Amino acid sequence: MQELIISNLSKTYKNGVKALQDISLQIPIGMYGLLGPNGAGKSTLMRTIATLQAADSGSITLGGIDVLAQPNELKKVLGYLPQQFGVYPALSAELLLNHLAVLKGILNNKERKEMVQALLHKVNLYEVRKQKLGGFSGGMKQRFGIAQALLNNPRLLMVDEPTAGLDPVERNRFYNLLSEVGENTIVILSTHIVDDVKELCSRMAIINKGKVLVQGNPVQIMENLQGRLYEKMIHKNELEQYKKEYQLISDRLYLGNQIVHVLSDTHPGPGFKLIDANLEDVYMSQIFNA
């Protein structure tokens, strides 16, 4: 089975920032979530996989392709939607997609026309194909971005923070589209939004400060916190004291009071109740302990 295998990948920038520190991941066909806060190293990892920047050490293989040594071979089978994706606002979706198809080497007119129309249908933009991209909503632009990323029928699709700024309806459309693509393709979803990973991915990794903190199946990862997570409602002015006394992984405001989540191997005391962990709790506990 085809997999993307990343081994001992490291990258330090000239300013001394260690963006990637000995990253090793094994990513199979399907949806794979790369979860971490802004600045965690997610985008650096994506750019390195896409051969847009060099690594200091380590290796990446996709099937029989040595990615770092054969960047042109990788680009033939790669689809990539970066976090910042620009369009030509004066062009229609159909015209720009056709132009991008030519740049990707799809030179047969009939084949190119059929592929462009099929992709516009796939991302639900066919009815607005003649409309200028400058008039598209954020969600429509993201769907156009996926269409261009799918032009070469990629074996590896990478999307970086794709749902940031989308409304719930557009986000659900995007979920459904990525899930469909992920049935036969390796899809890496890089995001800081926990729900994106929870809804879509059967495997995931949490990274922060350039390091992999945990990886595996989201359900199994959540099970590691079961029996250790407690919740309590406290007064707002007690929060700082609780941060000192307990391993507090998250807090949120509720009806003027503060609800805190605490990790503890034993019952932490009066007022605390044992709760089931969710993926956000896992994420916060890993970031807290990093």
CB contact set of 31 (below 8 Å; sequence gap of 6+): 178, 179, 182, 187, 189, 200, 201, 202, 203
Q: How sure is the predictor about 1, in pLDDT bands with cuts at 50, 70 and 90?
A: low
Query: Does the structure show a pLDDT above 80 at 288?
Result: no
Q: How sure is the predictor about 279, in pLDDT bands with cuts at 50, 70 and 90?
A: confident
Q: How sure is the predictor about 289, in pLDDT bands with cuts at 50, 70 and 90?
A: low
59-63, long-range: CB < 8 A, 24+ apart: 59/5, 59/6, 59/7, 59/8, 59/9, 60/4, 60/5, 60/6, 60/7, 60/9, 61/4, 61/5, 62/2, 62/3, 62/4, 62/5, 62/155, 62/156, 62/186, 63/2, 63/3, 63/155
Phi then psi for 76, rounded to 5 degrees? Answer: -70, -25
Query: What does the mean pLDDT of the chain come to?
Result: 91
Query: Does the structure show a pLDDT above 90 at 230?
Result: yes
Give me the pLDDT at residue 193, please.
84
Q: Which helix (H) or strand (E) holds 47?
A: helix 42-49
Q: What is the mean pLDDT of residues 45-54?
A: 94
Q: What is the mean pLDDT of residues 71-83?
A: 91
Q: Give the pLDDT confidence of 50-59 residue by residue, as tens digits.
A: 999 999 999 9
Give me the pLDDT at residue 54, please.
93
Q: How sure is the predictor about 225, in pLDDT bands with cuts at 50, 70 and 90?
A: confident
Q: Give the pLDDT confidence of 126-149 residue by residue, as tens digits.
A: 999 999 999 998 888 888 999 999
Q: Give the pLDDT confidence of 150-205 residue by residue, as tens digits.
A: 998 899 999 988 887 778 888 888 888 888 889 899 999 998 888 888 878 989 99
